[in-house]
Amino acid sequence: MTAEPTLAAPASSVALRPNSIGVVGMIFMIVAATAPLTALATNIAVSIAYGVGIGTVGLFVVVGVLLAVFAVGYLLLARYVKSAGGQAAFVSFGLGKPAGTAVAFVATIAYNAAAAGMSAATGFYASMALAMYTGIEIPWYVFTLVALAALAALGMRGLGPAEKITIGSSLLQFVFVGILAVCVAVQNPGGWTLQPFAPEAVFSGNLALSLVFILLSFGGFETSTIYSEEARGGHRSVARATYVALALLAVVFVISTWTLVAAYDDVVGVTAADPGAIVVATASEYIGDWSGGVILLLIMISFFGAAIAFHNMAARYQFALARAHLLPKALTRTRGQHAAPYVSSLVQVGFSFLLLLPFVLMQVDVFSTLFPAISGITALSLIAMMVGASISVVVARARGKIAGGWLTARIAPLVSAVILTAIGVLIVVNYSAVTGSDSPVFWLMPLIPAVAGVYGAIRQRQLPASPGIEGYIESALEEE
């Protein structure tokens, strides 16, 4: 066994608690961030209705393979980089501190916005469920405040409680998808055909739109690296969690989407009539009318699990930036035996509150205003981060900073960078379809993370003494 030469963290550096989360916890933290049930009710429904139709099933396989190719090079860096900065640290390792810091600021904005959006959705579905069961109508933002308070409390306790909640949320979603699939298989076995996997189905219709929403459905699958400082088993655990989570998500998405397709003779027509109601309608028809309210509760739980996951991602990026002297030092404060970055967690909750407050004061609809802005920001930010990480692998290998063959260190990351860039262009070209709005305001929203990235790069150059995200790359990683 040989040690890999890497930059060691300074002895005085502030650290998160090691061995706080295992492979299973990371897997379900990733799954919770993607919120499979909510993706089925939103992204997947839109793809079926307005994208490639039934080919959405097969396209999930194609995108899953693409992301596996990305993961080959991406996880190669996990052997060398161990930082709460996640992809930002990876980019810094190959492309330099300014680039890494730029990505860190982009990620911080994107994950903060996503956490706010998921909290709002939690309150929205909680309000709907209460009204369905009791007839009592309470504004969504009241429940959102409860969700934010819960995030603040969980932030004080480290990853342990969050891990348990996200595992529970994910398992509930799997159970629902499984029950629905069995019911459709028993009652309509003839609906299950291989037609959704045929090339003429997968690559037909509005392919660009479907690619956008399917990629968004997988968004966050690579975030296990954020927990690398706290992971039991080091980079091997991170790699296993990433691959297993990706495979698990691909299977769940394929089965759940195939279930919707098998349930109807004309699923495209039925879904296009009301994309947001397709999951509830399918469950009501095949499971029973009683399932409608249960599904609303499951979707609420799913959104809260996603809020927890994105909250933790944002808090750890803020922690990493503060540790690199690029954000206020107070964000590095940890608490008790959990060594939880509690100040950073509270700041994230405060950010969510301030972001959501204007929407509450203007009394606008959550989904027609809030989500369009957040979907655009999150999608383009994730693309930029993944492309940056892929290019970083190639450059790091060319500079001799990492070992690796042509496939893992050159071909796989280069192919993923090119294809992901192409998908990013498709997002921009089809931005109105992605956001669901032609408003110039929504077109300008993606400039927020872009400006944050430019600020981060400039800030890093102004502080040459700052170790940057890369300065907290850790070593002592051994090859098997």
* Cα 125 to Cα 470: distance, rounded to the nearest angstrom: 41
Rank 30-34, 131-135, 331-335, 389-393 by mean pLDDT and report only the highest. Answer: 389-393
- What is the pLDDT at residue 467? 65
Question: 372, 127 in Cβ contact below 8 A?
Answer: no
Q: Which pLDDT value is given to residue 395?
A: 94
Total-model pTM: 0.78
Compute the average pLDDT of residues 190-217: 88
Nearest-10 crossing angle of helices 87-95, 371-398: 40
Q: How confident is the model at residue 67 (pLDDT cuts 50, 70, 90)?
A: very high
Has residue 359 got a pLDDT over 90? no
Torsion angle of C-alpha atoms 237, 240, 242, 243, degrees rounded to 10: 170
Percent above pLDDT 70 for the chain: 80
Evaluate if residue 262 carries a pLDDT over 90.
yes
What integer is the mean pLDDT of 388-411? 91
209 CA to centre of own chain: 19
- Per-residue pLDDT reduced to its tens digit, 285-295: 999 888 877 88
Percent composition of the chain: helix, strand, coil (DSSP 3-state, to 5): 75, 0, 20
Residue 40: band (very low, low, confident or very high) from pLDDT cuts 50, 70, 90: confident
Quick one: which of 317, 347, 355 has its CA closest to 456?
A: 317
Give the mean pLDDT of 304-316: 84
The pLDDT of residue 394: 94
More confident residue, 248 or 27: 248
Closest CA to 248 of 212, 221, 216: 221
Distance CA 154, CA 119 (A): 14
- For 23-465, the fitting CATH number among 3.40.50.850, 1.10.510.10, 1.10.3720.10, 1.20.1740.10 is 1.20.1740.10
Predicted local distance difference test score (pLDDT) of residue 148: 95
| pLDDT above 80 (res 227) | no
| Residue 455 CB-density burial (10 A; 0-12 exposed, 13-18 middle, 19+ buried) | middle
More confident residue, 134 or 427: 134
Residue 399 CA neighbour count, 13 Å, CB half:
11
Q: Residue 74's pLDDT is what? A: 84
| Model confidence at 215: pLDDT above 70 | yes
pLDDT band, residue 89 (cuts 50/70/90): confident
> In this predicted structure, what is the pLDDT of residue 52?
93
Residue 448 CA to residue 425 CA, distance in Å, equals: 18
Q: Domain extents for the chain?
A: 23-465
Say if residue 12's pLDDT is above 70. Answer: no
Mean pLDDT on 419-433:
82
Mean predicted confidence (pLDDT) in 438-462? 84
Percent of the chain predicted with pLDDT > 90? 26
